Amino acid sequence: EAGVAQSPRYKIIEKRQSVAFWCNPISGHATLYWYQQILGQGPKLLIQFQNNGVVDDSQLPKDRFSAERLKGVDSTLKIQPAKLEDSAVYLCASSLDMANTEAFFGQGTRLTVV
Amino acid sequence: SQKIEQNSEALNIQEGKTATLTCNYTNYSPAYLQWYRQDPGRGPVFLLLIRENEKEKRKERLKVTFDTTLKQSLFHITASQPADSATYLCAREVGNQGGKLIFGQGTELSVKP
* Domains in chain A: boundaries: 5-107
Whether B68 maps to a domain, the answer reads no
Flag whether B46 is in a domain.
Answer: no
Sign of CA dihedral B61, B35, A41, A18: positive
- Sequential DSSP letters for B51-105: ETT-SEEEETTEEEEEETTTTEEEEEESS--GGG-EEEEEEEE-TTSTT-EEE--
Burial class of residue A9 (count of CB atoms within 10 Å of its CB; 0-12, 13-18, 19+): exposed
pLDDT(A80) > 70: yes
Q: Is the pLDDT of residue B68 over 80?
A: yes
Specify the 3-state DSSP secondary structure of A84.
Answer: helix
Chain A touched by B50 (CB under 8 Å): no
| Residue B97 pLDDT class (50, 70, 90 cuts) | low
What pLDDT sits at residue B96?
A: 62
Position B90 in a domain? no
Largest separation between any pair of C-alpha atoms in chain A: 40
Q: β-pairing, A104-105 with A44-50?
A: unpaired
At B98, the pLDDT band (50, 70, 90 cuts) reads low
> Between B42, B99, B103, which is nearest A95 by CB?
B99
The domain in which residue B4 lies consists of 1-9+23-34+97-105
In whole angstroms, give the CA distance from residue A23 to residue A28. 14
Q: Is residue B65 part of a domain?
A: no
Residue A106 CB burial class (10 angstroms; 0-12, 13-18, ≥19): buried
Chain A residues within 8 A of B99 when measuring between CB atoms: 31, 48, 55, 95, 97-99, 101
Q: How far is CA A97 from CA A48, A56, B18, B99, in A?
A: 11, 14, 34, 8
Between A101 and B83, name the one with better pLDDT.
Answer: B83
Position with higher pLDDT, A67 vs B102: A67
Q: From the options 2.60.40.10, 3.30.360.10, 3.40.50.300, 1.25.40.20, give the CATH code of A5-107.
A: 2.60.40.10
pLDDT at A6 over 70: yes
| A45 touching chain B per CB within 8 A | yes
Q: Supply the pLDDT for residue A85.
A: 97
A91: how many CB neighbours lie within 10 A of its CB? 28
> Dihedrals φ, ψ of B30, to 5°?
-70, 155
B41/A40 touch (CB, cutoff 8 Å), yes or no: no
Which residues in chain B touch residue A45, judged by CB atoms under 8 angstroms apart? 100-102
Q: Is residue B5 part of a domain?
A: yes
| Residue B40 near residue B71 (C-beta atoms within 8 A) | no
CA-derived radius of gyration, chain B: 14
CA distance B46 to chain A (A): 7
Q: How many domains does chain B have?
A: 1
Q: Are B36 and B46 in contact (CB under 8 A)?
A: yes
Average pLDDT over residues A40-48: 94
Q: How far apart are the first and last CA of chain A?
A: 37
In the predicted model, is pLDDT for residue A99 greater than 90?
no
Q: Please report whether residue B30 resides in a domain.
A: yes
| Greater pLDDT, B93 or B65 | B65
| Band of pLDDT at residue A1, cut at 50, 70 and 90 | low
pLDDT over 70 (residue A17): yes
Q: Give the integer Cα–Cα distance in Å for B34 and B49.
A: 4
Average pLDDT over residues A92-100: 86
